[in-house]
Structure 1
């Protein structure tokens, strides 16, 4: 189960949790509603989202698998579970309910949980922290995008 500092069972379990988040994103597609919203010029192209998320879900799972057996592994995995819960929730709130304001709150909590998880992972295992850093960067962009969409569409949000 442990090859080069990675617990493959934890990797599979975390990748499964990421798959649930991905399914949430597939169930609540952006569609015409999202296309009709005002967005900033720097909004990533639509094709980027599934590509980036696929890479991030794998790196997030590898990071969790690396820290699982460490002395504080239970705490680190609890932090990981917290962030993936908010990750999964966001798509339903933003695209499903079309509630940009509440989605912004969910995204802010997600950003905070990812930031804390990244910091703790970095202290426990430099590679796990580095793997999670890309996720923190992407969530920072997503938070800024959610904020911008909320600001530009305040009357309809």
Structure 2
């Protein structure tokens, strides 16, 4: 239980960037693709994903064994990249740099998914929705650059 709370605290710290750097009027004014998720979907998705990440990380840390160190290293990398994206895009309003950060995040989540799966099938499965959501977020980031070329400079 303590390990779960530690992983959850790390996720909550990453999630706090959404409160520290809200989307605001700048994001509201951007042209967005028709398939942009509704605003209410973001906190629902992230709350669920952070719970899944915490469960997966705690499970791997508890089980240990071959591959656990690699899985936890990927876990740390993905939460660090996750934490960087919001201040980059909404704090600095740097869409292109945000795309680079989310590219790193996507690779870290893919690595975490595979590495967690090797230790625990359940832990790996818990990362699959996260990989899907980050894929959508990366596509949205790229679409924002394309649709708002002046803002992307």
For Structure 1 versus Structure 2, the TM-score category normalised by the shorter chain is over 0.9
Q: Does 1:150 align with 2:145?
A: yes
The CA deviation string for residues 96-146 of structure 1, in whole angstroms up to 9 with x for no partner, is 000000001000000010011101111221101111101111001000000
Aligned-partner Cα distance in 1 for 2:3–2:133: 23
In the TM superposition, residue 156 of structure 1 has moved relative to its aligned partner by 2.0
Aligned length: 150
Aligned to 2:111: 116
Q: TM-score, normalised by structure 1?
A: 0.92
Q: Where does residue 100 of structure 2 map in the other structure?
A: 105
Q: Which residue of 1 aligns with 2:44?
A: 51
Gaps of 5+ in 1: 1-7
What is residue 16 of structure 1 aligned with on the other side?
9
Runs of 4+ displaced beyond 4 Å: none
TM-score by length of 2: 0.95
CA contact (8 A) 2:68 2:116 kept: no
User: 1:28-67 maps to which residues of 2 (within 5 A)?
Assistant: 28-67=21-60
